[in-house]
Amino acid sequence: MINSILYQLKGGLIVSCQAEADDPFNSPIGVTLFAKAAVMGGAYGIRSEGIEKTKMILSNVSVPVIGLTKSTFEDGSVKITGSMKEVESLIEIGCHVIAIDGTMRLREGVSGPDFISHVKEKYKTIIMADVSTLEEGIACVEAGADCISTTLSGYTSETRDLNNGKPDFELLKNLVRRIKKPVFAEGRYNTPSDCVQAIKLGAWAVVVGTAITRPRVVTSWFVEAIEKAALDIISDENRDWGGAFD
């Protein structure tokens, strides 16, 4: 049986409102303003990182909120909600859904699927398993995860070189075919056309973050493209003028 909260997210956009390091929006107020703007624009849900940030977002929007915490594994790769204490903190502030790292990497001595199993034994909270492979997704569903997200494809050592920075449509397609739980498309979905393709492949909903809530990063995309074009033009002019601009 699929929880009613998940049905509220079906067929829609979830906006990941996160900020890190010295980003000017890296505060509870900053990410909450993004969340409010996203809901005004029609977002079906919000994904948020950090206890204080998520707590403020929860008190300012009326849509489901997927909460998580971030830390790192020993190799420096990202770890999503990696301890029972973090899960309990997210439950205490009233998160509708909790995202948990569903990879096979160990945290508190257990793999992602085993950790999810422990959480489900102790709490009735809705769990979204963030995975990077089909095998992880299957294992997380067997462990009791309520839904799966392709979040971590491209962010683990095994998948880092896949898809050249594009969404992992193949993983999404295979998960939809193999499991009977909602599958969320997440990870490098940077254009509306990416999202449309995900829905056509059977995604329950699509999570978009950077392209909406990281203006510094998006600005850099435009700057790099323009600067490259300008250099190409200068190079062409040099050839046309026999190097007169050297």
The predicted pLDDT at position 1 comes to 65
User: Residue 27 carries which side chain, given as an amino acid letter?
Assistant: S
Q: What is the distance between the alpha carbons of residues 89 and 51, in angstroms, rounded to a whole number? A: 7
The DSSP annotation for the chain comes to: ---HHHHHHTTSEEEEE---TT-TT-SHHHHHHHHHHHHHTT-SEEEEESHHHHHHHHTT-SS-EEEE-EEE-TTS-EEES-SHHHHHHHHHTT-SEEEEE-SSS-BTTB-HHHHHHHHHHH---EEEEE-SSHHHHHHHHHHT-SEEE-TTTTSSTTTTTSGGGS--HHHHHHHHHH-SS-EEEESS--SHHHHHHHHHTT-SEEEE-HHHH-HHHHHHHHHHHHHHHHHHHHHHHHHHTTTTT-
What is the percent of the chain with per-residue pLDDT over 90, rounded to a whole number? 87
What is the per-residue pLDDT for 116?
98
Angle at 141 between CA 80 and CA 159, to 5 degrees: 50
- Nearest Cα neighbor of 124 from 103, 148, 96 is 96
What is the share, in percent, of the chain residues with pLDDT greater than 70? 96
pTM: 0.93
pLDDT digits (tens, 9 = 90+) for 68-100: 999 999 888 999 999 999 999 999 999 999 999
The residue-averaged pLDDT of 43-57 equals 98
Query: Is the pLDDT assigned to residue 241 strictly greater than 60?
Result: no
How do residues 163-204 score in pLDDT, each as one tens digit?
888 999 999 999 999 999 999 999 999 999 999 999 999 999
Residues 6+ apart with CB under 8 A from 38: 15, 17, 46, 212, 213
Q: What is the pLDDT of residue 243?
A: 54
Measure the CA–CA gap between 138 and 179, rounded to whole angstroms.
7
pLDDT band at 146 (very low <50, low <70, confident <90, very high): very high
Look at 237 and 71; give whichever has higher pLDDT: 71
Task: Quote the pLDDT of residue 210.
Answer: 97
Per-residue pLDDT tens for 3-14?
A: 999 999 999 999
- Answer for the pair 99, 68: CB distance below 8 angstroms, yes or no: yes
Q: How are beta strands 65-68 and 70-72 bridged, if at all?
A: unpaired
